[in-house]
A and B are shown apart, each in its own frame.
Chain A
Amino acid sequence: GQQLNQSPQSMFIQEGEDVSMNCTSSSIFNTWLWYKQDPGEGPVLLIALYKAGELTSNGRLTAQFGITRKDSFLNISASIPSDVGIYFCAGHNTGGFKTIFGAGTRLFVKA
């Protein structure tokens, strides 16, 4: 089945630092997404990407859809304590009912 490999598994950073995480797939997706999960809550959609090469920002977050359609990355600039959480990449194909999630990157930010 389709699998997403997300790295790193966890990151410990200082407030103000930039963060980068990525996701690769064994197969092609035509939609890549990034979700964030806060403790005790469900994941919340941050960014959706629909076109190979697309670069999209949402505040301090920037994500890119890889040219091969098999990868994506997420950058967070100038991290703040409330960025703490688990970031999930996800892949989806248009018309389908299944969204596949990566294993998550746990981000810890020290003030």
Chain B
Amino acid sequence: DTAVSQTPKYLVTQMGNDKSIKCEQNLGHDTMYWYKQDSKKFLKIMFSYNNKELIINETVPNRFSPKSPDKAHLNLHINSLELGDSAVYFCASSQNTDREKLFFGSGTQLSVL
């Protein structure tokens, strides 16, 4: 059973399109995150949700809108995709008592053409 699963694994799309990435965790964790990994492999936090509430929004453009329907799911919707959005997006989760211990999904490689 995959602990943190995100879909799709690969996403190739044209500039200007709108796309979504889904994430689910079956660990019973309270906190979920989206991280962006650029071509140089640098990992940067985008959003953090705790029990469905937005906690961190790291100056991400408004075109990125996370949605957490329940604490096991955190989806990421991106409007009007731009070339610079091409990256690998990782979903992660952690328990409130050990927020430093992140469990990552296997990533979604987004390519904007």
Nearest chain B residue, comparing its CB with the CB of A31: B100
Q: Contacts A97-B48, A97-B55, A103-B41 hold; do A42 and B107 have CB atoms under 8 A apart?
A: yes
Q: Evaluate contact between B106 and A98: CB separation under 8 angstroms.
A: no
Q: Give the contact-size bracket for chain B.
A: 20 to 34
Q: Contacts A42-B92, A98-B48 hold; do A88 and B102 have CB atoms under 8 A apart?
A: no
Q: Which residues of B contact A41 (CB under 8 A)?
A: 104, 106-107
Q: Contacts A41-B107, A42-B104, A98-B45 hold; do A103 and B40 have CB atoms under 8 A apart?
A: yes
Q: How many residues of A contact B (CB 8 A)?
A: 26
For the complex, is A86 an interface residue (Cβ under 8 Å from B)? yes
Can you give 5 A-B contacts (C-beta < 8 A)?
A43-B104, A45-B103, A98-B45, A99-B99, A106-B41
Footprint of B on A, CB under 8 Å? 31, 33, 35, 37, 40-45, 48, 86, 88, 90, 92, 94-101, 103-104, 106
